[in-house]
Amino acid sequence: MMEMVKYIRWLSLDIVLGGVIFLNFIGDQLKVEVPIVVSLALSLCIWLIYTLDHQRDVTLKSYQKGARRIFHKKNQRVIILTALFMGLLGLVLLYFLPLELVQWGLLVALVCLIYITLSTGLSSLLVKEVMVALLYGGGIFLFPLIQIDPLEGIHGLLFIQLSLLAFVNIVLISTFELEEDRFNGFGSLSLSMGKRRTSQLLGGLLIISALSTIIIAYYYPYFMHLEIIYLFASLQLAIILLRPAWFVSAERYRIYADAIFFYPLIFLW
């Protein structure tokens, strides 16, 4: 069982499933019906972005440190062929998606292409993690938001909250993998700022995240369930930040940090 979970994580399938769950939860909160084809399209996009990012990393350096990157290096040919097949499947899905979603999706795809191409330079500018977080939040909120008329400021705040949690998630995981990133030659905000200053930054952001959930839940009780999810996610990331010694074993930090995107199942069940 644990062996299967390991491969699911290495192939980013847990990230894919978490994204689809969150998409449908956001749709439920905004009273937008999410067609299955939209969920399939999002899952393909998330998997392709993460997979191509991993493949770019392992191509830049012959010797890799870290089980996930070693796995991608050893199985590079199979993974690339699978990615090509998934890309073709994605093109087929375009014919079944709403035109407006395709138009906005192409813009998001262009941003993703820029990220994958320039991610090394973006790391040195300390914006790589910000871009990934915004892309993740944007990918989840894109379809529900284009279905809403009119858009209100609260919708933008909900998107920012999710992107903030995604940013903390990404940077928090990187604080546990400093030596691995340094060995592999990959830049990150954690490497640039140092572990202590990065932890202080994350602590401040998590306080802001938690306070925002209380304020928004008070003024917009309709989104109470969403704000509860955001609050629980903030608290879980805070626990990982404050108790790193326990979470470092067996990469618990990554398992528990990514588990926050499965919380919506509480209200979708």
- Region 134-152 average pLDDT: 90
- Region 119-127 average pLDDT: 54
pTM exceeds 0.75 for this model: yes
User: By percentage, how much of the chain surpasses pLDDT 70?
Assistant: 91
Longest dimension (CA), the chain: 53
Please, what is the end-to-end C-alpha distance for the chain in angstroms? 24
- Region 61-78 average pLDDT: 78
Collapse the DSSP code of 122 into the 3-class scheme (helix H, G, I; strand E, B; otherwise coil) and give the result: helix
**Helical packing angle, 36-60 and 13-29, nearest 10°:** 140
